[in-house]
Structure 1
Amino acid sequence: MSNSLATPGVYIEEKSSFGSSVVPIQTALPAFVGYTKKASRGSKSLINKPTKISSFGQFVELFGNGPDIKFSIEANETSAQGFQLSFVNASRYMLYNSIRLFYANGGADCYIVSVGVYGDEINADQLTGSKTGGGIASLEKYLEPTLLVIPDSVLLSKDDCYSTQAAMLSHCGYKMKNRFAILDVYNGDQERTFDENDVVNNFREGVGSNHLMWGAAYYPYIQSNIVKSSDLDFTSIENKEVLIEILNSEVDANLAAEIITEARAEGIKAEIAKINDATDADAIKSLQSTLKVVSPKINGILEDMQDMINLMPPSAAMAGAYTMCDNAESVAKSPANISLGAVVSPSVDINNDNQEELNLPLNGKAVNAIRSFAGKGVLVWGARTLDGNSQDFRYISVRRTMTFLEQSIKFAAEAFVFAPNNSTTWSTLRATVSNFLNNQWQSGLLAGNSPEDAYQIQIGLGSTMTSNDILDGVLKMTVKVAITRPAEFIVITFEQLQQKS
């Protein structure tokens, strides 16, 4: 101002009364990677372009509806139902129903990375972007996502699934250090065998030993009710000639048992014969309604199809649960002891004895259990990262809270790049960070009876910096925080008092 005082007059100079502040980053913003029906906004392709959405309707608008999942049916006299269904793998994709499950569990904003469209073979290189630069690799330019989920990974071969999950951990813990991976156990719908084929032990071996604190895994799969029976019809059966034979066999058995008359049997078979010719949507709907009345077996087939599609890996539901916990309370709240929405049951029943090895394995690679409790429903009953032997980052809430604090302070500190490396800048930066941490302590994010117990900030010459650091243009600040930890084990001791009166 003094250099501009050349002309007599009145000059006004405004000075800032308040320092800059730290803006808290968003803690639960998942990025989903997978295959979609389409990927376009108008004429612009969205393939391998991370796209932020805020609702399921917006997902459908940009990425289309779900896949037309096909089934193969075979007669099986050894089963109680007399048939066996299996997926036509080339028609199966997980992302669409996973997004539905995400929003059913409290999901909000998220990023979608479509690496291909239905009809493409699910490929590990496309999901990771190791060769194309798409998939996970395309997220390296985006700082917002804080969670990473790839439901389609469980449809890969076992080795490709594990390599993709290892790439997820590397992306979160090595390249970005600002996000957390939610992993599914390959073949997590199967019971544990505790031998060389055990699904959990195979997962632990396959996922590797690097960057384990940056991810958590959940077991088993969950039986959801996302897909309704009204969403399915007999056209999902690829080999319709076998379906017709099975239904006709049912009619013949009922006729032989004199449950129906011969005229009734002929009428039912005439309806069954229309299966091959029904192509119009109205004709299919009308025929299906008729078949569901006259053939109990078609109802069993549709129910099995529904159950098979609704058996899903839990990562997307957990991403919604993380979001719900963060928005309702804070990132310090463990995403555990909460019920899952749109979930009927876990695919495998786990009791206390079964969970002991999941939670406390010798190698430390904890896998969080999803369990069913009488009167409570399906609950998430674990809150550990894969680095279960670490005293620092054993718990999901601790790892994610530290990431939240680190990234929030990092972005605030960028305002001081190229500022004079002197006591004025140090005191301003200390006050900025101190105000932020004090607010976090008051909200319950940090432990301690006083701010001094909750956090410490060190900055300055002789404290965190040497004269050479200042000459090199290096400003060093040390922040120590006491993060709240979950009460995972609650021990209540009972003693008897001697009678006194």
Structure 2
Amino acid sequence: MLQSNIKSPGVYINELNAFPNSVVAVATAIPAFIGYTPQAQYEGKSYLNVPQKVSSFAEFQAIFCYPDPAPPAPPAKQYSPQYYLVQQKAKPADSDYMMINGSYYSILPDPNTIYYLYNSIRLFYQNGGGDAYIVSVGTYGPPSGSTSAPGAQIVNPNVKLADLTAGLYLLLNEQEPTMYICPEATLLSVADNSTLMQSMLGQNAAMQSNISVFDIIGGRNPDPIMYTNDITTFRNNTGVQGLSYGTAYYPFIGTTIMQNSDLDYTNLFGGDIKQLAPLLSPASNPDPVVNAVIAGIETPSSPPLTVTQYNNSLLNASKQYAAIIKHVLFDANILPPSGGMAGVMTTIDNQEGVWQAPANTSIIGAVSLPIRLSETQQANLNVDAVSGKSINAIRFFNGIGILVWGARTLDGNSQDWRYLPVRRTLIMLEQSCKLASQPYVFQPNDKNTWEGVKAMIGSFLTTIWKEGGLQGASASDAFSVDCGLGTTMTSDDILNGFMNVMVKVAVVRPAEFIVITFQQQMATSS
């Protein structure tokens, strides 16, 4: 209270702050998912192209999923990919085939019905996910009624670059997300995927508050020999800007997200039971029980049975049908790893800290890999002498299982930014100090303010050091904070309204290569 404001006799109380301002660490694991959802409305309000924060899978379901019908009807299908069994003249080159009645059949999806966002959200929450932003850029498009060629990359024409880019730009106004994830980017053409990835990295570099987690086209069904072509294509298409803000994982992962109840005969041949019937009950060896079930599907009784009841009848009546559903389920469960990695990072951040590398850990729900990389094969992913762009491998280890075996950014040749936990830790420190310093804007640019800012940031960094986020035997070894005339500012800076703060930190780096040296020595007498 200024004495000049006291006008009349009396007693006045002047409250003083006993404690200085403090820095509160910003959240480090809040992903923003961009893609297509079953729907995007809640209580009559549309949430299309609206970044919406959710805190649980139940909230996601309430806004972006179809409502379930009243019992006893089965729950609504949120994702319904379509698959076709196409007869081949010879054994297919890839493993996506079945032997039925003495003939080879490739199991091929209708590419227009393949989407990844819904199951990636499920994988995110299965791995410990929490708060997340959802940007729904549209709902599912119509099926094509046809399939792609065996072994070909899936390109969904309903997934459009313009939609995903528009959803990305909506996040320019959101400061909270720390990760951008677009699982359906791999359903674009290679050229469109390149444009989207470069846009994501450019926005990351401009905002300096988030990273992008990429999947790699070709990681779903890699060729065991020529898979390196997919890696080269990815490296050629990410550009050179903002590489330290990006990280990539390879290959896709086989999961248990979808269960038997999520697929039935309506997911085969576009729901045309007449195309499925000859496979289950061929004319040369008819099955009367299967024929009876199929007849009931074609001509429902009164009251009609549900799809679930007919599906269970087919599963019990035909081992061939059960094998087909099992094979299709395996294919539908192959997902890009970015959603699971977002959950892994959330769990590690909450349990240990953002400075802990999200590696040497498993992805819950991952049970298979389309390719098992060896140590030699990973070497070419981890270090690339030409582009310097590192790719993190997901590998299988005997007796252990599937592990994330890498924690590098795309900027693999940079001594400063090659490690993902270093980049994410610096983002957390920078954004926390930035937000905490805002109350000092327009304060007098004098020694009192400088000392207050130094004490505030120093106290925050001391806490981070004690938690293990900075290295050094003492706090002075771990960081330094400078602010003052003659150290970080000149007289001109003060006249122009600049208060410069210099913060130096020794960030903890992962022990990526552990070298143990053995040497023989001569025997000595006891």
The interval holding the TM-score normalised by the smaller chain is: over 0.9
Give distance in 1, aligned partners of 2:287 and 2:359.
55
Give aligned-pair identity as a percent: 40
Amino acid at match of 1:425: T
Give distance in 2, aligned partners of 1:233 and 1:248.
17
Q: Deviations over 1:61-98 (max 9, x none)?
A: 00005222222222336455232221112222211111
Q: How has the CA–CA distance of structure 1 residues 415 and 275 changed in structure 2, closer, same or farther, with 3 Å as cutoff?
A: same
Give distance in 1, aligned partners of 2:39 and 2:375.
44
Amino acid at match of 2:116: M
User: Counterpart of 1:15 in 2: which secondary structure?
Assistant: coil
1:487 aligns with 2:511: yes
Q: Deviations over 1:222-265 (max 9, x none)?
A: 0000001122111111143322222233x63xx4xxxxxxxx73
TM-score by length of 2: 0.88
What is aligned with 2:154?
Answer: none
Give distance in 1, aligned partners of 2:308 and 2:17.
70
1:284 deviation in Å? 2.8
Q: How has the CA–CA distance of structure 1 residues 75 and 243 changed in structure 2, closer, same or farther, with 3 Å as cutoff?
A: farther
2:222 corresponds to which of 187, 191, 194:
191
Give distance in 2, aligned partners of 1:411 and 1:68.
44
User: Counterpart of 1:198 in 2: which secondary structure?
Assistant: helix
User: Counterpart of 1:127 in 2: which secondary structure?
Assistant: helix
Q: Which moved more, 1:50-59 or 1:161-170?
A: 161-170
What is aligned with 1:72?
Answer: 84
What is aligned with 2:99?
Answer: 81
What is aligned with 2:25?
Answer: 24
Q: How many residues end up aligned between the 2 structures?
A: 484
CA contact (8 A) 1:73 1:242 kept: no
What is aligned with 2:388?
Answer: 364
CA contact (8 A) 2:248 2:391 kept: yes
User: Counterpart of 1:112 in 2: which secondary structure?
Assistant: strand
Q: How has the CA–CA distance of structure 1 residues 218 and 482 changed in structure 2, closer, same or farther, with 3 Å as cutoff?
A: same
2:331 corresponds to which of 308, 312, 330:
308
Q: How has the CA–CA distance of structure 1 residues 200 and 387 changed in structure 2, closer, same or farther, with 3 Å as cutoff?
A: same
1:427 corresponds to which of 438, 444, 451:
451
1:207 aligns with 2:219: no
Amino acid at match of 2:278: E
1:500 aligns with 2:522: no
Unaligned runs of 5+ in 1: 130-134, 256-263
Give distance in 2, aligned partners of 1:208 and 1:462.
40
1:465 corresponds to which of 489, 504, 515:
489
What is aligned with 1:387?
Answer: 411
1:434 deviation in Å? 0.7
What is aligned with 1:171?
Answer: 203
What is aligned with 2:73?
Answer: none
Give matches, 1:92-491, under 5 Å: 92-119=114-141, 121-129=158-166, 135-174=167-206, 176-191=207-222, 198-237=229-268, 238=270, 239-249=272-282, 252=284, 255=285, 265-277=287-299, 282-362=305-385, 363-491=387-515
CA contact (8 A) 1:248 1:272 kept: no
1:41 deviation in Å? 2.4
CA contact (8 A) 2:218 2:227 kept: no
Amino acid at match of 2:429: L
1:45 deviation in Å? 1.0
CA contact (8 A) 1:358 1:367 kept: yes
Amino acid at match of 1:499: T
Amino acid at match of 1:105: N
Q: How has the CA–CA distance of structure 1 residues 283 and 403 changed in structure 2, closer, same or farther, with 3 Å as cutoff?
A: closer
What is aligned with 1:58?
Answer: 59
1:388 deviation in Å? 0.2
User: Counterpart of 1:468 in 2: which secondary structure?
Assistant: helix
Q: Deviations over 1:418-474 (max 9, x none)?
A: 111111111111111111111111111111111111111111111111111111111
Give distance in 2, aligned partners of 1:246 and 1:70.
17
Q: Deviations over 1:256-308 (max 9, x none)?
A: xxxxxxxx734443434444445998343333223223322211210121011
Give distance in 1, aligned partners of 2:5 and 2:313.
91
Give distance in 1, aligned partners of 2:423 and 2:221.
30
1:190 deviation in Å? 3.1
Q: Deviations over 1:359-409 (max 9, x none)?
A: 111121111000111222211000000000000000000000000000000
What is aligned with 2:15?
Answer: 14
CA contact (8 A) 1:74 1:242 kept: no
RMSD: 1.9
Amino acid at match of 2:525: K
User: Counterpart of 1:353 in 2: which secondary structure?
Assistant: helix
Q: How has the CA–CA distance of structure 1 residues 123 and 416 changed in structure 2, closer, same or farther, with 3 Å as cutoff?
A: same
CA contact (8 A) 2:280 2:290 kept: no
1:165 deviation in Å? 1.5
Q: How has the CA–CA distance of structure 1 residues 207 and 5 changed in structure 2, closer, same or farther, with 3 Å as cutoff?
A: closer
Amino acid at match of 1:418: F
User: Counterpart of 1:111 in 2: which secondary structure?
Assistant: strand
Amino acid at match of 1:203: F
Q: How has the CA–CA distance of structure 1 residues 333 and 277 changed in structure 2, closer, same or farther, with 3 Å as cutoff?
A: farther
What is aligned with 2:75?
Answer: none
Give distance in 1, aligned partners of 2:267 and 2:16.
71
Give distance in 2, aligned partners of 1:326 and 1:86.
39
CA contact (8 A) 2:273 2:294 kept: no
Give distance in 1, aligned partners of 2:414 and 2:82.
45
Amino acid at match of 1:231: D
User: Counterpart of 1:435 in 2: which secondary structure?
Assistant: helix
Q: Which moved more, 1:418-427 or 1:6-15?
A: 6-15
Q: How has the CA–CA distance of structure 1 residues 7 and 196 changed in structure 2, closer, same or farther, with 3 Å as cutoff?
A: closer
What is aligned with 1:259?
Answer: none
CA contact (8 A) 1:278 1:284 kept: no
Q: Which moved more, 1:188-197 or 1:491-500?
A: 188-197
Q: Deviations over 1:122-177 (max 9, x none)?
A: 11111011xxxxx0111111110001100111111121122111211111112x11
Q: Which moved more, 1:265-274 or 1:203-212?
A: 265-274
Give distance in 2, aligned partners of 1:282 and 1:467.
84
User: Counterpart of 2:404 in 1: which secondary structure?
Assistant: strand
Q: Which moved more, 1:192-201 or 1:350-359?
A: 192-201
Unaligned runs of 5+ in 2: 67-77, 92-97, 143-157
User: Counterpart of 2:99 in 1: which secondary structure?
Assistant: coil
CA contact (8 A) 1:186 1:203 kept: yes
